[in-house]
Structures are given as C-alpha cells and as structure tokens.
Structure 1
C-alpha cells in the first residue's frame, strides 16, 4: 500500500510503441481516466535497454518514468532478466539452458537461461546496476520487480549443463559432507548404485537415473536454491544505488521453486493470479483455488502481499479462454484484497499488435480506446480501491487456523513409487482448505518449518514427509492445547525419503498405529459412517489400530478391514489430534470440520452459516479481537451468478457507504460487500463503528 492507497494498474510495455509517441501520450491520459496509480516497467525490455553488449540506452525509459510521475503515477521498475536478447545468446550460447537429456536449448522464449552461468549473472548484474544508478532513486519509483515468474518455461527452470552439475555436487558436499552420508541418505545399496566419487553424481535424467527419490528431491531442492540465489544476486545489484524494496512475482502452485525459500530474497511477496473463471457454471472450485493461493502468498511473510498480475478480461493460452462475465472482474479483484493484497495490477495495460500475447486481455484493446466494457469495469474497480485505501491501511488477515503445504513433501510424495502413482498433493490440500473456506474460516498456508504457535487448529493432509524437528513442533503445539488434523500416508519418511522404522514419530500424539495401506480401485471402494451419514473411503485406505487413549469415531464397513478405524480423536496434553485413515469426499470433510471447528472454538466473523458460494474474510489491525478499538474489516463475497442473502449476521456497518446492516445481508450476483465490525453499543452507549466510519477510518 502506498500512503493509504491501494495500488491499481499493471504491466506497461511502452518499448513496443516507441515509434508511436501519440500512443504513449494517450496511454497516460487513459491511465488517469481508469484511476490507475501504478505501472510496472521494463519487465521484458533487455533488447531495448541494451541493444548491443555494454551499450545502454535508458533515456526513453527515464522520459516515460518522468512523464508518469508528472501524472501522479508510480512505477514498479523491473530487471529484464526474464528474456535474453539475441546478441547475448549468439555470442554466449552457454547462457542457454540444457535439458535433462543433454540437449542445449535454441534461442528464444522466456527464462531460457542457466541460473548458474557466470556470464548470465555478469551481464544482467551490470544492466541491473545501471538501471539502479540511473533510475532507482526516482521519486515515483517505489519498488523493484526482480525478473519475471522465475523458473517459468523450459523444464520449469532447471538447467542440466555441466556448470549446474558441478554446482549440484558442491551443494551435495555441503549438505552431506561425505559420500558415505549421502549413500546412506539415498539408500544407494539398493540396485548397487553406491557412489564412490562425487563426479559420478548426475541430475535426474530420462536417459539416466530417476528412481532414487532422495536424488530427485535433492535435485529439486538444489534447483530451488539456485533460482533463489539468482534472485538474491539481482536484489543485491539493484540495491547498490537504490534503497527501494524488491519483489518477485510468484505463480500458482509452482512446483519447481520452494516459495518459502525464495521469499527470503525479497521484501514484498507478489504473485500472478489467472483463475479459469466460467469454465463451468459452478465458480466455487475456482474461487477456492484462488483463495488458497492468495492465502499462501500472504502467509509467506504474514504480511500484505501484491497482486502483481491478473487479467481484466481473458487470457490467451488455454484451450478455451472465456471473457469475464459482468461483475466477475470486480469480485475477483476484491477477493485478492480480501485475502490480504494491497494491489490490483493487470497484465497488461495495452494489447500489443503482434506475437504470442497479442490477444491476451488488457485494459486497452486494439480498438475503441476507453469505450469498452473491460475499460469501464477496470475504471469502476479503480474508483472502489481509492475508497478502500484508508479503510484497509494497517490491516492484514490474522487467521487462527493453518493448513500445512510443504514443497519438499510435494516433491517426495509425487516422485516416489508407492501405493498410488497418481497422488496429487495440491488437490488434497485444496480439499481440506475448501472445507474451511465454505464455512468462512480463513487459514494461513504454512510449511513444516513455520511456527505453529498462535493457531488454534492446524491441518496437515497427506503429510508424507516429516522434516527434522517437525514432529517435536506438532507435539508441543498439541500439548499446549492445539487441535491437529492429519491423514493417511503421513509421517512415513524423513527428509531424504527414508522410511521411519519402529513406530510413527507422532504415534503418542495421534493415538494410532499404522499397519498397512490399501490403494483400492473404484470397484473396491469402501465406506464408513460419520454422525449417522455414510461416506466413501477411497484413494488410500490405511489399516490402523487405535491405542487405548484414542476415541474411534468411524470404522470401515467393508472388505477385510471392516471394523478398523477411519476417524479417530486422541487427547494429548491440553489438545487433541484427529486422524483420517482414508480419503473421502467434500461432503465428509465439510461434516468433519464442522465438528473440529467447534472443538477449536473457531467461527467465521459473521457468526452464522453461509449459503453455498459465499465466502468471508477479515482484515484487521494488530491486537486482541476483543479490543473495541481494533479495526476489523470483513469482506463478504458471492461467487454465484445469482443474488443471495446471508441471514443471522448481527450488526455491522457498510465500510463504503455507512449503511447500518443488521440481521441479514443481501448480495448481488458476483457481489462483494465490505463491512466494519460494529461493537454493538459500548457500555457508555455510543456506537464505535459509526465513529470509525465518520472519521474515514
């Protein structure tokens, strides 16, 4: 947020229009009309900024920054490493990535560079420093945008060249110290694959080794570290002459980079959100996915984040690319803000005339200037954000629930050869998150290294791998009163994919003993009863034994493991641990979490049940929720294309128009209302919420 203002604007590519000064002049006029206060510049401008090696042409960019500043428009200035100029790849072909099969890429596309390459690092650092020196302290430059969607395209960022092989071996030496330790960690005596020299180790390859899960997971860790290190290198380069903070735009469930690692290299988290709205008439599954990823970005630093890219209309790279229906642009933008974003930014401001993204959505189309539905809806969004800036200043979401999503666990569970080869970790996590979302309960998305204190409920679905110290952290969390939920196929292996032996690391906390895991086909689907309703048991079905301390809430009803526990609850210290021994459906998770949330003392801010498709989030200032002076801003969103009414909501004030609301709240199709918590009348008889609104918050 910029001095009480939410950022509104997006990627601007004036280098495509340098021979059309009338277009550049029109752009600024239209930006002001659309209530744009911020644009990102230079993201893919390397070939124009440095047309030949060591020759920098930055005057055009400085002039545009200055003209934007005169119009009151702020700038997020990018480093252009996302796409290399042809002079670089022609003279230094070693900067291009090598694929897993040993073939070096040809020039072209984006992110086609080796993150290890000394040449690449030298050339981009030199340009970054020049950008920093010339432009990094301009008054209207507020933030650095490091590269673009790091790791995108070409094998998800992984380069397998000899330089990367050498760097990987050095990384392994630092991690394990000796070959003996590495061989033990990777269990290489199996199939006689013991390494006797570091130079024998090679990255996973289709024509080589891919069956040692420890190798595969460590390679993924290395690639993530290498990309993060490259980002840090760029951060240090721009910091040489500029004190502006830095961000890097993350992506939706991007497997190749552990974002918990990458976020350490930047000051502000941002991400690019492109939900596939209107693929089906039921928008809820898409809304849940977007909400989860907004929550994840906020959770990385427990601070507001930036929505760096979104489309104001449609994308151009799916098989089917529907336009946003009326109302959806406003709703999807407000959803980002509701989950903690301090911006709504677009790709892109103006559509280009040619090349790959000429039909990608933009604020300004090829024709008609401001006379389009998209432009009008963007303008309305900008106006609304202007009114919310001061209201939301100093606020962020502060959930009491958390869902564990860990990149190393993702790599391990989907790369191992086990009871099922079609396990989808993000989908499993999303199902549990959705069960909370449908009840209006927000959750942080944390990894196994995060602090669990302060949460009332922690859910860890399909938590196959346990990192060092994680079991102890969970034990302490439950012992002090926390509610912990985990599932089948959890706590199976350590950080190098070696199976735990003897007993489960949290057997005492969970109160169950795992015996075996079935992976039934559809014909052998089992079932169980919970609270008088029958639900399917599928995907994976563990056979477990309940210890004396555990209470069995459901049992299998079929097959040889009929009567064995499916749902258990085990008291431990002041808290409880729930174990779900089988996969089921959303209906079961909804019923189950309804009980667990009650046990944890959690309810949504409205304190009432929500109609299907309605979501609730809350942004608040720091402090105790019982403090009458704490600012609490609640977003109520309707993801159905029909009107709905939420009943039993108590007393609130509309944050945008001051309307007093009591008892029920009407929502338009794809509507969003922003409410201020009404303290109900204080002991001295005056209405705090009314005072807050009158003061403009």
Structure 2
C-alpha cells in the first residue's frame, strides 16, 4: 500500500528539500510522486541531459525510506522544442495553432513528438534503470485531458487519411459505399481528398465522424503504448502506470484501451473543482471510481486525492472538515489500494496557485495536515482488506463507439449517455450494492445482472455474447436507442429496431421521438406494477409487444397502446427493455425489483450513508461512510459529519 503526496521540489528553493521530506515522513508517507512536468529541467537545451536535480531528491528521499513514483515528462514539452518545430504543437478546430504556455499542447500524430519523446524517455529510464527506490513509472499525465484529445493539424489530416486507406485496404470505392457519400455529392476519388471533420455548413457524414473518433482514440492509444513499451524495453519488470483524469466516458479516447498497455491504473479524483457550487453527488463520485477500476478490472491507485480547495483561475469550494478525508475512504472502499494527495504544498507561482495542498503556501501545518496524517495512520491498519480484489454481481457496460455516436448525433439535447448510466448506477448505490463499470469487450458472463444503457451501435460479437448471457440465466437490461446503428454508424436497411434483438426482447420499436423535457409524459404500471405511475422523458420508443410482458405503458394521448417498459423471460434468463428516460422513483422501483428477482442482497442505509464490505479471508471489514454534513446514526453506529468508521468482521 503506497501512501504519499505529489511533490514538486523543482518549484521550491533547494534549501527546503530536507525539511520538506522530513515533514512528508511525519505525515505518514512512504512514497512521493515526482518529475511529471520537468522536461526542461532534464533537458534545458537539445541533447544536453541532466538528471542531477532528481538524483539529489531521490538520494534524500532514500535516506528517509521514501519510495518514488517517477514521471516521464512528455505532458509538458519545453519551449525550445516548440520553437524549433512548430508542427509539434496541436491545433484547434479551424487551423488555429495552440500557443505554447499551457500543458498537453503537443500533437499525438507529430513524428517530431515521437522522436523527442523517445530521446528524453530513453535517457531518463536508462539513467534510473538500477534505481530500486522507484516503484512505478508514470507515463505522461492525464492523457487526453482538457481538450488535448483532439487536434486538427496537417499531421492529423495525413495520418487520418492513411488510417482510412488502411481500414478500407486502399479501396476508395469501398469507403464511398460504406459512408454513403453519394448523399450531398460527397464521393471521393482518392483518400487524399478526405477532410477531417472541422466546422462546415450543416454537418459532416456520420460514418466519417465515427471513424474520426476511432482515429482520435487510436492516436492516443498508440502514443501511450509506445511509451510503455519503451520503459519496458529498458526495465522489463517495471510497473508502468498512468494517472487518468475524470470524465473518461466523454473523452475522444477509449481509456480502457490505453489501460491495456499499463501494469497499473491510477486516477486523479476531484469531487469538486473551481467554479462548482458544491461537490458532485456521492453516487457520481462512486461511479467514477468504479469506472476507473473497470478499465482493467483490477484495483487502482489514487494519484491525486483532493485535500484543499482546487481551481486554476477560479478558486474552488473548500472541502469541509473531514470531507476530503471521507472521499479518501470512499476511494479505498471502491478499489483503490494506494493513495497520494495533490499536492504536498500549494504553489506560490504558476497556473495552479489556487490548487491548495496539504500545506498551504505559508508552510504552516493546520487541519488539512492532521486530517491526512490521521487517514494514513488509520487506513494502514487495513492493508490486506484494501488490497483484496472486488467481486460484484452487477455490471454496467459501456461502448466507446456508442458514446462517440451520441457525441456525433446527440438526438436529444437532454441526452447524456454517461448521466443515464449514473441514473441506473444510483439505484444500486443507494442499496449499497456494488457495481462494476466495464467496457463492452470485457467478459460479463459471471454477473447476475448486466445493464446496457444506450448501446446504439450493434456488433455481431456483442449480440452473440448477450444472447448467450441470457440463455445461461443472466438478466440483461437494455434501453431506448439500443441497437439502432451498425458498426459504421449507419442505420441498417430492412431491419426493425432493436436490430437483431427482437427475439431476445420480444418486441419491436414502431416509432421514436425526442423530448426536450425530463418529465414529458406519464408512464402507467400494469400487472405487478398495477397502481404505480410516474414520469418519463428525454427520448422514447413506441414499443409494440410480441411475446414480452408489459410492465409500464405510456399514459398520454395517442400513445397509450404502446409499452414503455417490458420484460421477457426465457427458459433461463430475463431481458428488460426500458423504452424511455425515467424519473428516479420508477428507475429505483424497477432496479430494486430486479435485485430481488436475482437474489442480490441489498443493504438499506440512512440517506447519505454508504456501506461497503472489503477484504478476504485474511482481513474483512465493513466501511460506514457518512456523506452528510450532519451526524447520522446507522444502526448501532453513530457517524459524525463526513466520518468513516471501519468495523472488522
């Protein structure tokens, strides 16, 4: 279990190093994370490498038995490199060059970026290949964050055209046929004519844009795999990791594919940021943690845990006493087995002056310091439990291609696929039932319940696996906009929705509509749900039932004949179809019904109290986490505001 801080000694006077490290040890740390933004310090002029600064830092850290997580510095290229090779810098849509001065300003398809990244990473790793105090290598930083996942430069255009040429085996007629370019006279005679989808009149071809999304993702996946392989070439048994930012489901990169090149996944967990009025809800934080754990299906690290207020230009909400400490416990409850705080000390200069640390710029130990110290002391007692793997009975499955399809054609201005996932997730979270959030290529055969929100792109292999899952006794929940498009983001001809799922669901979708309201129409319960009514909105399918049961139907004029929610039981398994966006009350009712039906144990708790069991035969505990700003009594346990209590079993 690694417990530590993110430390930037290069930002402070050299005379402060030893006192800082002593204070870090006093805090209870056994690791420091360093060097991720220090390319210029390592190579002030091209080809002149100097690692002496970090040699000294590591030497002094070793004297105190502190281990090191070492970063490759590629997230922030040096000014001399950007000046010498302007094409290394990425471009905004429309061809406007990004300006050197921020971070993540390089283009993932720049040959120069690969060339100079290899030089600095190779020199750095070669220099420290015998350094036993380095326990992990972090490659780059928060890949694809803050808009850096898109670039529209000439490098990208050429690479995109090559990507398409390779995909279609050099056959431009095949691309034209697949994309349907005869519409609006968009046929191409050569791959060199194909544009990147920048701003135009109306919109670009959806199939072209889908391939652009895949290309953007692959560009980042390739760059990260390149760095990971480079580190392992020099240190074969290196632990290669990366610190992912939040919001992964909305990025133009599939983080689950990036994770395949890593030994260890890490996460920078910020439940509140500058400009937010208040922190996001407990289930949203938990969803993000479970999504990160799902990238590899393994426990993860927190490389940036919040303690002070955060913000670049806008100062953030200050976590209340013990609130940030509580979020640290929540991280461990959801599969983190190591945790570092961002940052050791708040900065006095640069863009992150309002990203406050464990200690503020005045260098005085206060509440935040002692909260971190107490957390480290406490959580260290539960190392075995926190390092045990998590096994859940429920999975929410996402598909990068489907998420991209909704970015391309949103269909309803209210539809946000990741938010819709979280609505289902909340129903389980409120009952303290664990959920895995996993990519569609992951094996889900051992779960009891699999939920597929808005999986609009249908793929033959996925169809087969879902059918097998139900055949073998599983329960699957599909939703409106399921299986509407093929892998090229086109609507299949001659197929009724949900495409290839009609027999499994026992229904067909007659018509659809987008609603610009969350509660646009009534839904009326029937059978087991007789007497229950609620509201639906966002989008809806008009469901014509074949051999499924109707659980709810629409209650508004013209559409009462159509089902809203159905269930089809087969010999062994069950398929639910949710035909519209539902209000929370009905979503909860339906998910609780499914949990009972599947004999999944629910653990009711007071509002705002999260209960999680962690551990194995060696050490097993129950974590009681109070997200409330007031005292709560959970059974015989009294929880102070934002308190977590761990009870051994």
Tell me the TM-score normalised to structure 2 length. Answer: 0.94
How many Å separate the matches in 2 of 1:373 and 1:645? 25
> Could you report, residue by residue, the CA deviation over 1:504-533 in whole angstroms, capped at 9, with x for unpaired residues?
211111111101112234499210234333
How many Å separate the matches in 2 of 1:599 and 1:181? 48
How many Å separate the matches in 1 of 2:600 and 2:474? 12
2:234 counterpart residue number: 241
Q: What secondary structure sits across from 1:239 in the alignment?
A: helix
Asked if 1:109 corresponds to 2:110, the answer is no
2:378 counterpart residue number: 384
Q: CA deviation at 1:12?
A: 1.1
1:460 counterpart residue number: 452
> Could you report, residue by residue, the CA deviation over 1:553-573 in whole angstroms, capped at 9, with x for unpaired residues?
111111200132111110124
Task: Decide whether the 8 Å contact of 2:519 with 2:583 is kept in 1.
Answer: no
Q: What secondary structure sits across from 2:454 in the alignment?
A: coil
How many Å separate the matches in 2 of 1:417 and 1:599? 34
5 Å-filtered alignment, 1:651-690, equals: 664-677=636-649
Q: What secondary structure sits across from 2:99 in the alignment?
A: coil
1:421 and 1:213, CA in 2 relative to 1: closer, same or farther beyond 3 A?
Answer: farther
How many Å separate the matches in 1 of 2:583 and 2:519? 16
Q: What secondary structure sits across from 1:164 in the alignment?
A: helix
Task: Decide whether the 8 Å contact of 2:36 with 2:75 is kept in 1.
Answer: yes
1:427 and 1:67, CA in 2 relative to 1: closer, same or farther beyond 3 A?
Answer: same
Task: Decide whether the 8 Å contact of 1:478 with 1:573 is kept in 2.
Answer: no
How many Å separate the matches in 2 of 1:197 and 1:208? 23
How many Å separate the matches in 1 of 2:63 and 2:82? 38
5 Å-filtered alignment, 1:592-631, equals: 592-604=590-602, 608-621=603-616, 629=617
**Structure 2: segments with no counterpart, 5+ residues:** none
Task: Decide whether the 8 Å contact of 1:402 with 1:445 is kept in 2.
Answer: yes
How many Å separate the matches in 2 of 1:97 and 1:310? 29
Q: Which deviates more, 220-229 or 158-167?
A: 158-167
1:487 counterpart residue number: 479
Asked if 1:542 corresponds to 2:541, the answer is yes
5 Å-filtered alignment, 1:275-290, equals: 275-276=271-272, 286-290=281-285
1:557 counterpart residue number: 555
1:175 and 1:632, CA in 2 relative to 1: closer, same or farther beyond 3 A?
Answer: farther
1:98 counterpart residue number: 91
Task: Decide whether the 8 Å contact of 1:74 with 1:141 is kept in 2.
Answer: yes
Measured on the aligned residues, the alpha-carbon RMSD in Å equals: 2.1
How many Å separate the matches in 1 of 2:234 and 2:20? 29
How many Å separate the matches in 2 of 1:191 and 1:527? 40
5 Å-filtered alignment, 1:132-531, equals: 132-153=125-146, 155-177=147-169, 178-207=171-200, 210-242=203-235, 243-254=237-248, 255-276=251-272, 286-317=281-312, 319=314, 321-370=316-365, 372-393=366-387, 395-416=388-409, 418=411, 420-500=412-492, 501-503=494-496, 504-522=499-517, 525-530=520-525, 531=529
2:121 counterpart residue number: 128
2:61 counterpart residue number: 68
Task: Decide whether the 8 Å contact of 1:101 with 1:207 is kept in 2.
Answer: no
Q: CA deviation at 1:286?
A: 2.1
Task: Decide whether the 8 Å contact of 1:448 with 1:467 is kept in 2.
Answer: no
How many Å separate the matches in 2 of 1:179 and 1:261? 28
Q: CA deviation at 1:630?
A: 7.0
How many Å separate the matches in 2 of 1:357 and 1:280? 17
Task: Decide whether the 8 Å contact of 2:510 with 2:544 is kept in 1.
Answer: yes
How many Å separate the matches in 2 of 1:524 and 1:363? 44
Q: CA deviation at 1:170?
A: 1.8
1:580 counterpart residue number: 578
Task: Decide whether the 8 Å contact of 1:414 with 1:421 is kept in 2.
Answer: no
How many Å separate the matches in 2 of 1:182 and 1:572? 40
Q: What secondary structure sits across from 2:336 in the alignment?
A: coil
Q: Which deviates more, 139-148 or 353-362?
A: 353-362
Task: Decide whether the 8 Å contact of 2:295 with 2:439 is kept in 1.
Answer: no
Q: Which deviates more, 332-341 or 566-575?
A: 566-575
1:365 and 1:523, CA in 2 relative to 1: closer, same or farther beyond 3 A?
Answer: closer
Q: Which deviates more, 221-230 or 166-175?
A: 166-175
2:564 counterpart residue number: 566
1:640 counterpart residue number: 628
Task: Decide whether the 8 Å contact of 2:32 with 2:66 is kept in 1.
Answer: yes
> Could you report, residue by residue, the CA deviation over 1:287-336 in whole angstroms, capped at 9, with x for unpaired residues?
11111111011112111101111221110137561111112122100111
How many Å separate the matches in 2 of 1:209 and 1:380? 57
Task: Decide whether the 8 Å contact of 1:480 with 1:573 is kept in 2.
Answer: no
How many Å separate the matches in 2 of 1:577 and 1:586? 21
Q: CA deviation at 1:407?
A: 1.9
Task: Decide whether the 8 Å contact of 1:132 with 1:240 is kept in 2.
Answer: no
Task: Decide whether the 8 Å contact of 1:282 with 1:640 is kept in 2.
Answer: no
Tell me the TM-score normalised to structure 1 length. Answer: 0.88
Q: CA deviation at 1:417?
A: 6.0
Length, aligned pairs only? 638
> Could you report, residue by residue, the CA deviation over 1:178-233 in whole angstroms, capped at 9, with x for unpaired residues?
22332233222221212221001121101478421111121111111111111111
Q: CA deviation at 1:156?
A: 3.0
How many Å separate the matches in 2 of 1:496 and 1:618? 43
How many Å separate the matches in 1 of 2:340 and 2:129? 21
Q: CA deviation at 1:635?
A: 2.2
5 Å-filtered alignment, 1:3-18, equals: 6-17=1-12
Q: Which deviates more, 97-106 or 250-259?
A: 97-106
1:307 and 1:512, CA in 2 relative to 1: closer, same or farther beyond 3 A?
Answer: same
**Structure 1: segments with no counterpart, 5+ residues:** 1-5, 622-628, 648-663, 678-697
How many Å separate the matches in 1 of 2:506 and 2:619? 41
